[in-house]
A = this chain, B = another copy of it.
């Protein structure tokens, strides 16, 4: 049974494992530093579909189907799937997972969605409400640009603080099937909004949410950053990562040398137009479910905090002069490899 630790943290019993995981990526990501790690990487980001949205749906579907195949399961073996994406009405999940026939609870946490789906799947599994749950998210550069920013055809210029939405997906099978990689604890995020209104500077909007969640977890568990091999944020990017380190320092925690960010890791610093790094819920999902899972399994990492961060921005809200509410969910993962 899960047990509450301190004010805000949910401790999980032995028996909640990341049994298998799959990372899927697009062409730009394939050519990045982690390119070799992805289970599936596409050379053509259209995935031979007629629209970008259909391409993203197909990518999310590919992530889940590859996961099931890798784990030796069929859709009927899965009790529930927690899925989400950045598109209005979680379109990539609804259409991508439609044909699977698996009970579905769609989640929205913007770029924090992978950690949110894992939190839900972990509690369902820990409680016996499910014995096998899938957590999956995706994002696609071309769907995100036109929905949140500008049609691609405009060729709009990018500001130095902008990030590049990752074309990618990650899917994890969370179950009570014993595996070396275990989910130990969760901290559900709360909205933090320090009134940033610049939608091209999401790292700055999200860093305070990451700091809030990490600080609450460390306080609840009475641990320090140095006790972890890695504190992995989702997509703060280069600027947001600097801000997080500063905010944590002000709270009395030094994360230097322990922190890394999926948005910083996924592209080379000199990759064209990525500026501050990658973003999108497919960013942290694809990096966690490939590169990081491989390091957890190989024994290279034993004790990590996965903290996906989300800017719950809406173009409609921005048009109405609103600031960007942000959130970060934390998943504490350990490995006995």
> Which residues of A are interface residues toward B (Cβ below 8 A)?
1-4, 8, 10, 50-51, 53-54, 79-80, 84, 87-91, 94-95, 97-98, 101-110, 116, 119-120, 123-124, 126-131, 147, 186-191, 193, 312-317, 320, 322, 325, 327, 329
Indicate if the CB atoms of A107 and B104 lie closer than 8 Å.
no
Of the A-B pairs whose beta carbons lie under 8 Å apart in the complex, a sample of 5, sorted by A's number, is: A90-B312, A107-B107, A123-B124, A126-B127, A129-B186
Contacts of A2 in B (CB 8 A): 127-129
The smallest beta-carbon distance between A194 and chain B, in angstroms, is 12
Indicate if the CB atoms of A320 and B53 lie closer than 8 Å.
yes
Please, how many angstroms separate the alpha-carbon atoms of A39 and B16 in the complex?
A: 41
Query: Given contacts A53-B320, A320-B54, is CB(A87)–CB(B126) below 8 Å?
Result: no
Query: Given contacts A98-B325, A127-B2, is CB(A188)–CB(B104) below 8 Å?
Result: yes
Closest residue on chain B to residue A324 by CB atoms: B94
Please, how many angstroms separate the alpha-carbon atoms of A64 and B181 in the complex?
A: 38
Assembly of this chain: how many copies?
2
Contacts of A188 in B (CB 8 A): 80, 103-105
Please, how many angstroms separate the alpha-carbon atoms of A106 and B53 in the complex?
A: 22
Indicate if the CB atoms of B89 and A191 lie closer than 8 Å.
no
Q: Which of A53, A97, A190 has the most CB of B within 10 A?
A: A190
Indicate if the CB atoms of A108 and B84 lie closer than 8 Å.
yes
Q: Report which of B4, B54, B116 forms a contact with A131, defined as CB distance below 8 A.
A: B4
Please, how many angstroms separate the alpha-carbon atoms of A108 and B86 in the complex?
A: 12
The smallest beta-carbon distance between A138 and chain B, in angstroms, is 14
Contacts of A119 in B (CB 8 A): 105
Contacts of A130 in B (CB 8 A): 4, 10
Contacts of A127 in B (CB 8 A): 1-2, 123, 126-129
Indicate if the CB atoms of A129 and B131 lie closer than 8 Å.
no
Q: Report which of B3, B4, B51, B312 forms a contact with A89, defined as CB distance below 8 A.
A: B312
Knowing that A84-B108, A91-B314 touch, tell me 6 more A-B residue pairs with CB under 8 angstroms: A4-B130, A51-B320, A104-B190, A104-B327, A105-B120, A106-B312
Please, how many angstroms separate the alpha-carbon atoms of A5 and B44 in the complex?
A: 44
The smallest beta-carbon distance between A180 and chain B, in angstroms, is 24
Indicate if the CB atoms of A4 and B316 lie closer than 8 Å.
no
Please, how many angstroms separate the alpha-carbon atoms of A312 and B90 in the complex?
A: 8
Contacts of A325 in B (CB 8 A): 94-95, 98
Contacts of A329 in B (CB 8 A): 105
Contacts of A80 in B (CB 8 A): 188
The smallest beta-carbon distance between A9 and chain B, in angstroms, is 10
The smallest beta-carbon distance between A61 and chain B, in angstroms, is 12
The smallest beta-carbon distance between A129 and chain B, in angstroms, is 4
Please, how many angstroms separate the alpha-carbon atoms of A54 and B316 in the complex?
A: 11
